[in-house]
Structure 1
């Protein structure tokens, strides 16, 4: 990264509202947190008066159990985005091409450009059919944001094998994977997995996540990681949350049930709903208009995500899956628009 590149690379728009009077469906984070999380945060105060253990062994053990890997393969990061930046920073040099899906998380392209690389955009439905040869890195978001669809495990592992054969590392963003019950690609040679605790545990302000890699990528990521890059509260809360397997299972079931109910109601109301295994739904609102839906929801005190900021989408909004009562309110408003 250099001065001119950073100066000329703008920020990427995201969802979420900080207005306490707004019912926020624009951010795709859990509306619940695991029991005991606040106590874990408060108990971390004394630990915060000294530097965290380096490396943070307890956090790595919890992440390994949560992510299905060995603790030595875990590289702690302050959120999934930090894991993504770390991988791209190591893989991409000025002038490099990177295979990037679209529509998908806008930070991939931004981080690539910050390193002087060039995103080679591929439709997200076709990303696993891309020839990785000639790319410095390939990126997959599984499940994909904002569309919500997950990839077949066999197809994904076959693509990882193609990347290995081409000598191209593969970055897999699994920020929403735990909502699906699908297997992680953690431990695959040549694959860097990025995991986030923001979405599932409803804690975007904690900034806790991790990367998983083996072989030379593990060594490079571990050495490049900043010392003490997670504070004591993030380490304590993250480790606590990742051990709450009952909360994870309950959340997955609740979100799946509510997502299907919302899909049925919205489809009956004339919305074109994209298939999803994630805690959100992408709606094509071409007949109503994006502005009409976004503004109409805002008039009712509800924030929905204008998805036209995602590359390739020009008539879409994204809505999160929240509690049944909150979802009822959203459905009432959207049906009336």
Structure 2
């Protein structure tokens, strides 16, 4: 990390509320967790009196099965953002440029700047047409946050090959890929994948995730990773969740069904961006997004002011939750 850059970089706004009286649609996390999660966590608490096995064999095996890669390519991290920081730390030096999509997750640019790098912004739907030459890395968010659209798998793999030929590390954030049946880039040469248990398994406070990379990149990530990078509860609960195949299938179907229903209903008041993710980006047109957020909050519902994303000035973002909760959101947004 570049010391001079740290002193110039600020924080990034995020969704999410810790107010128990609010129904939170501002964060894109699953409102449900896999069956048995609480029991696994409780058992892991007793084991936390000792250091975890720093090789994390059970967690890495479960992550490898989930992402369809070799366990040796899995690098445990305390969340997906930690995997992203690790990828940038081993690939970006002061003065390097990195291609970054917009609108997209604001932490990409912040993490690059912390390393002394320079983000160069590209519209997210034009990223695969960008030239990766002369850049240290390229970031892709698949599916993209906050728009919700996913890239064509074939085109994405072709772009990964182009990045590899250009000696630019492709950093693929797949935080929401588990909500789809699209293939992961995990194990693809020249690619560092970041995965999170936060979104799909509804555990943002657990801080469990992993990176996947092969070859020299994988070796660098494994070397740079902090010792005991995941706590015992995070590793054990993570392994349990990553093997919850039935839960994942049920979640995908619920999100697909509810997203379509919400898109139809919200389309009467907003322009709704097509999405393959557990959230919808809404264009409010002439209405003030901040006023929509304020009025929804007065009625007990939190939605995300998406104007904090680069390139958006009239948008809000809402999560896809359970049917009854979604009904409440539709009722509130129908009156704001």
Q: Which band: TM-score by shorter chain?
A: over 0.9
Residue of structure 1 equivalent to 2:120: 120
Q: What are the superposed Cα offsets for residues 227-279 of structure 1, whole Å, 9 maximum, x if unpaired?
A: 10101000110000001000000000000100000000000x23000010000
Residue of structure 1 equivalent to 2:68: 68
What secondary structure sits across from 2:125 in the alignment?
helix
| Aligned-residue offset at 1:30 | 0.2
What secondary structure sits across from 1:34 in the alignment?
coil
Residue of structure 1 equivalent to 2:283: 284
Give the gaps of 5 or more residues in structure 1: none
Task: Tell me, in whole angstroms, the C-alpha distance in 2 between the residues paired with 1:264 and 1:122.
Answer: 30
| Aligned-residue offset at 1:46 | 2.2
Q: Which runs of 4+ in 1 moved over 3 A?
A: none
Question: Residues 214-225 of structure 1 correspond to what in structure 2 (within 5 A)?
Answer: 214-225=214-225
Residue of structure 2 equivalent to 1:102: 102
| Aligned-residue offset at 1:284 | 0.4
TM-score norm. by structure 2 comes to 0.99
Residue of structure 2 equivalent to 1:166: 166
Question: Residues 2-151 of structure 1 correspond to what in structure 2 (within 5 A)?
Answer: 2-151=2-151
* Counterpart contact for 2:99–2:135, Cα < 8 Å: yes
What secondary structure sits across from 1:260 in the alignment?
helix
| Aligned-residue offset at 1:13 | 0.4
Residue of structure 1 equivalent to 2:236: 236
Question: Residues 190-229 of structure 1 correspond to what in structure 2 (within 5 A)?
Answer: 190-229=190-229
Task: Tell me, in whole angstroms, the C-alpha distance in 2 between the residues paired with 1:94 and 1:45.
Answer: 41
Task: Tell me, in whole angstroms, the C-alpha distance in 1 between the residues paired with 2:96 and 2:5.
Answer: 14
Q: What are the superposed Cα offsets for residues 143-177 of structure 1, whole Å, 9 maximum, x if unpaired?
A: 00000000000110010011011111100000000
| Aligned-residue offset at 1:6 | 1.1
Task: Tell me, in whole angstroms, the C-alpha distance in 1 between the residues paired with 2:83 and 2:45.
Answer: 25
Question: Residues 180-199 of structure 1 correspond to what in structure 2 (within 5 A)?
Answer: 180-199=180-199
Task: Tell me, in whole angstroms, the C-alpha distance in 2 between the residues paired with 1:119 and 1:2.
Answer: 15
What secondary structure sits across from 1:82 in the alignment?
helix
Task: Tell me, in whole angstroms, the C-alpha distance in 2 between the residues paired with 1:100 and 1:288.
Answer: 29
| Aligned-residue offset at 1:289 | 1.9
Give the gaps of 5 or more residues in structure 2: none
How many residues in Structure 1 have an aligned counterpart in Structure 2? 336
Alignment of 1:264 onto 2:267: no
Task: Tell me, in whole angstroms, the C-alpha distance in 2 between the residues paired with 1:117 and 1:287.
Answer: 37
Task: Tell me, in whole angstroms, the C-alpha distance in 2 between the residues paired with 1:287 and 1:334.
Answer: 15
Task: Tell me, in whole angstroms, the C-alpha distance in 1 between the residues paired with 2:299 and 2:269.
Answer: 20
Task: Tell me, in whole angstroms, the C-alpha distance in 2 between the residues paired with 1:322 and 1:251.
Answer: 10
**Alignment RMSD, CA only?**
0.7
TM-score norm. by structure 1 comes to 0.99
